[in-house]
Amino acid sequence: MGKNILEKILEEHLIEGGIKTGEVALIKVDQVLTQDATGTMTYLQFEAMGLDKIQVSLAVSYVDHNMLQIDNKNADDHVYLQTVAAKYGAYFSKPGNGICHQVHLERFAAPGATLLGSDSHTPTAGGIGSLAIGVGGLEVASAMGGEPFELKVPKVVRVWLEGELNRPYVTSMDIILELLRRLSVKGGVGKIFEYDGPGVKTLSIPERATITNMGAELGATSSIFPSDERTKIFLKAQKRERIWRELKADKDAHYDEEITLNLTELEPMIAQPHSPDNVVKVKDIKGLKVNQVNIGSCTNSSYQALKSVALFLKGRTVHPDVSVTISPGTKQVLEMMAREGDLADLISSGVRVLESACGPCIGMGQAPIAEGVSVRSFNRNFKGRSGTQDAKVYLASPLTCAAIALKGEIVDPRDAGVKIPVIQEPEKYMINDNLIVPPPEDRSSVKVIKGPNIKEVPLRKPLEDKITIEVLLKVGDNITTDDIMPAGAEILPLRSNIPEISKYVFYRIDKDFYKKAKEAGASVILGGENYGQGSSREHAALAPMYLGVKAVISKSFARIHRANLINFGILPLTFKDSSDYEKIETGDWLDIENVIRSIDENKPLIVKNKTKGTEFEVVWTLTEKEREVLRAGGLLSYIKKKRAS
Ligand code: MIC
Ligand code: SF4
């Protein structure tokens, strides 16, 4: 039988194991990327391994999240990242060069390569045909230390694209919003999405990357497009055609599931508060007054997308009641738009131009007004993420955003009375890599500089066989890592300082969580379905671990967060019978015995509810490596032990 793209890439990178769905594959990692909000921890963990050089062929350290410098903290992190990259052999992408995923797509990503990134939107590079997976920072550190990556081979879903988008008003953002509408934020858990069909060749690489980027919101392990003639055109325009290769599924390849989407029938879509899958047609909610529009992010900030916005607004003025921002994804896009006059058109129309960074997407500035309505071309609209707890955030394509910016209310871009031509892909992008600092030839004299905010990584004590824990918090379905460990301008600068950042764990849900956790000493969280969806931030496991959280018992877990829990020695337990969830309350004390035997034998655990005098069963399916990591008390201790032996 023929192979799909995933199987082909896995086969080329396989070190041990199998490549079929359900098997465990240990694969070679070709490239890694980090961003500053997760990167400081990643590099501190790498340093703790005691190696003198990064072991993967390409590592790039980006600065794009923590860009507000209201005191020394973020600036100190930037210098640490620059010096540690130089010391151990990574490229450093300076602040101002752009958002990691977009820069990586333009300048580094390669068809057929494996890429691990300490950010959940790493699959953006799937648009060019990389097998790109978002993981926790420690997982990236481990790959930089030369460890293979362990992947439980997900189910492969073929998304068959037919027809062609009705450009310019219907865009690739509408494709992924439609998939989110159909499948939900849980629909991709344990799956990888492979795009195929006649519609594929009608999409440019940045358009494909919008889709693979936001595949993260489906909960998917990754998303990937074939590498074809369009890929070659893009790489040529980026002066990187030498790394092009063809990559496509065999005609008789096997897929676990199939979905068909007709691009011609698609209409502009919009996600409503507070979840990326709460999607309707734009025209269905037309007329709703809007206070803010933000265009940009790693999902939608390519040259083509933003040039269309500039053209749409050219010679017009944004609505007087709307605050409009744009953050071009990379310096390449910003510089091209500046030289071609689009930036001037945007400025003239009243758009506030921000630097090339994540910015408002992660609450680094531009919080909307109280109870405000904000429409953003981003990928996440979780409650509170914008920085305003009661804001209502909607997600739509850049062009829909532009139409709304003009009208001051939700409007289908086809009905805004503005006609623009379709923007073609440029034959040549402007190449100027002067903000990418390569590692020096001689690394021996480089001094790693650590500012006062950078604290060592806390380690967990060895795993206990018996734990007595208090239920500190019971939450519902689809709890995000933004709920567990919020981001935003106030908290993000503490990413290198676990004792400080841990004060904010769950604080938007229960502002006394920190105090309670300290008092309890050992605790457990109860979760519903898809616990820990969203970002890759390992701080959502590391900080709770620091506060004494020993286990999370939930109905199911999101992939990256489950792995992060294991990497920091927190037990990810699933109810055998999910109705047991109803029978436990906050404040109950639970006893769990024989933890080590259960890990050794991969057996269910009996949990005794001491408060209620009842008991219930929890299960976990662990791979061999996961068991060893848990026994060692976490991934860092596991690696250290392995190196010592
Ligand atoms: C996000 O979009 O939530 C982030 C910020 O990029 C995170 C990473 C982080 O928390 O640092 C992600 O998506 O992984
Ligand atoms: Fe940055 Fe937002 Fe993309 Fe996360 S989702 S990497 S915060 S632009």
Nearest to 202 by CA among 161, 174, 247, 241: 161
Most informative mutation of 61, 100, 116, 120 for ligand 1 (most atoms within 8 A of CB): 120
Ligand number, closest to the Cα atom of 361: 2
User: Mean pLDDT for the chain?
Assistant: 97
Rounded distance from Cα 427 to ligand 1 centre (Å): 32
Output DSSP code: residue 145.
T
Rounded distance from Cα 104 to ligand 2 centre (Å): 13
Tell me, what's the pLDDT at 602?
Answer: 87
Q: Is the pLDDT of residue 138 over 90?
A: yes
**Which ligand 1 atom is nearest residue 134's CA?**
14
pLDDT top residue among 503 and 642: 503
Residue for token pair 């008092």: 519
Asked if residue 358 has its Cβ within 6 Å of ligand 2, the reply is: yes
Q: Among 242-256, 455-469, 483-497, which is the least confidently predicted range?
A: 455-469
Mean pLDDT of 303-311: 98
Mean pLDDT of 484-503: 97
Nearest to 309 by CA among 180, 416, 166, 179: 416
**Which ligand 1 atom is nearest residue 536's CA?**
14
Nearest CA to ligand 2 atom 2: 361
Tell me, what's the pLDDT at 102?
Answer: 98
Instruction: For the chain, state the CA radius of gyration.
Output: 24
Asked if residue 357 has its Cβ within 6 Å of ligand 2, the reply is: no
Q: Is the pLDDT of residue 462 over 90?
A: no
Position 321 confidence tier, pLDDT thresholds 50, 70, 90: very high
Residue 114 near residue 31 (C-beta atoms within 8 A): yes
Position 35 confidence tier, pLDDT thresholds 50, 70, 90: very high
Element (H, E) at 160: strand 155-162
Rounded distance from Cα 171 to ligand 1 centre (Å): 24
Q: Is the pLDDT of residue 461 over 90?
A: no
Nearest CA to ligand 1 atom 3: 535
Ligand number, closest to the Cα atom of 362: 2
Most informative mutation of 33, 34, 38 for ligand 1 (most atoms within 8 A of CB): 38
Rounded distance from Cα 536 to ligand 1 centre (Å): 6
Distance, CA of 262 to CA of 198 (rounded, Å): 10
Asked if residue 120 has its Cβ within 6 Å of ligand 1, the reply is: yes
Task: Determine phi and psi for 187, rounding to 5 degrees.
Answer: -60, -20
Task: Determine phi and psi for 502, rounding to 5 degrees.
Answer: -65, -20
Asked if residue 38 has its Cβ within 6 Å of ligand 1, the reply is: yes
Strand partners, 168: none
Residue 473, Cα to own-chain centre: how many angstroms?
25
**Which ligand 1 atom is nearest residue 482's CA?**
3
Q: In this predicted model, what pLDDT tens digit does every residue of 593-641 receive, in sequence order?
A: 999 999 999 899 999 999 999 999 999 989 999 999 999 999 999 998 8
Tell me, what's the pLDDT at 643?
Answer: 86
Active-site residue set: 64-65, 119, 380, 535, 537
Tell me, what's the pLDDT at 342?
Answer: 98
- Looking at the chain, the whole-number percentage of residues with pLDDT higher than 70 is 100
Q: In this predicted model, what pLDDT tens digit does every residue of 188-227 receive, in sequence order?
A: 999 999 999 999 999 999 999 999 999 999 999 999 999 9
Asked if residue 487 has its Cβ within 6 Å of ligand 1, the reply is: yes
**Which ligand 1 atom is nearest residue 120's CA?**
14
Nearest CA to ligand 1 atom 6: 119
Residue 363 near residue 385 (C-beta atoms within 8 A): yes
Residue for token pair 């071609």: 340
Asked if residue 395 has its Cβ within 6 Å of ligand 2, the reply is: no
Mean pLDDT of 492-505: 97
Nearest to 572 by CA among 547, 587, 542, 550: 550
Rounded distance from Cα 538 to ligand 1 centre (Å): 10
Rounded distance from Cα 2 to ligand 2 centre (Å): 36
Position 645 confidence tier, pLDDT thresholds 50, 70, 90: confident
Nearest to 590 by CA among 573, 602, 565, 569: 573
